[in-house]
Chain A
Amino acid sequence: NAGVTQTPKFRVLKTGQSMTLLCAQDMNHEYMYWYRQDPGMGLRLIHYSVGEGTTAKGEVPDGYNVSRLKKQNFLLGLESAAPSQTSVYFCASSLLTGSRTPQHFGDGTRLSIL
């Protein structure tokens, strides 16, 4: 049982390039989340999904898009990367809403934009 798996673990991009971060969970969780973690800022919610085929904006959604075509996968896309998007990205999932059950996290993707 792998839990929440994020790929890739590290990536360096040039400004303007695009990429997709993949999150996969094998716990049959309904809810999935994407966060970014920056020094001194804590975890900030980018987008989340309350079930297959649904997505919603979080606290800092600009510059990112997401898709949840399959229940177990949640993709985070950067269409045109900017240096301000240099961060550590975490995916999480929860069985039910995050206000009732704990979220379980992957080990992150470390993304640098040059």
Chain B
Amino acid sequence: GESVGLHLPTLSVQEGDNSIINCAYSNSASDYFIWYKQESGKGPQFIIDIRSNMDKRQGQRVTVLLNKTVKHLSLQIAATQPGDSAVYFCAESHGGSEKLVFGKGTKLTVNP
């Protein structure tokens, strides 16, 4: 069945370093992937998405990489800032489904 998970539940980085958050998925039919950021007491906030016809997509300070061969997704945050401290979720879906499947999240802590 579908499952979306994360390799590490927590990640601690120094301010200014680059962060990499990983996500694995098991459904080979998955073709749409999203990263969300959730700050304490807030709802998930959309960061970036990518479709399976791409292997890389860049936003402002963020890059998502998709490796369909090994069913792996990563979120790279450049020059991590204290405001980036949050829980990050990946989610996936596939054509014909009206729903997203969410991973359990990775907590990113940025140390000054």
Contacts and interface: CB of A to CB of B under 8 A. Distances in A.
Given A48-B99, A97-B98, A102 B105 contact: no
Interface stretch (B11-19, B43-51, B70-78): B43-51
Contact of A107 (B42, B89, B95): B42
Nearest to B102: A43
Interface size class of B (residues with CB under 8 A): 20 to 34
22 contacts: A31-B98, A42-B102, A42-B105, A45-B100, A48-B99, A56-B98, A97-B98, A98-B99, A98-B100, A99-B31, A99-B96, A99-B100, A102-B34, A102-B49, A103-B34, A105-B36, A105-B45, A106-B43, A107-B41, A108-B41, A108-B42, A108-B43
Contact of A42 (B41, B96, B97, B103): B103
Contacts of A98: 93, 97-100
Listed from nearest, the 3 A-B pairs whose CB atoms lie closest are: A105-B43, A99-B93, A42-B104
A91 to B, nearest CB: 8
Contact of B89 (A41, A43, A100): A43
A45 B99 CA distance: 8
Nearest to A98: B100
Interface in A78-104: 90, 92, 97-100, 102-104
A9 B46 CA distance: 21
A41 B31 CA distance: 23
Interface size class of A (residues with CB under 8 A): 20 to 34
A55 B93 CA distance: 19
B104 to A, nearest CB: 4
Contacts of B46: 102-104
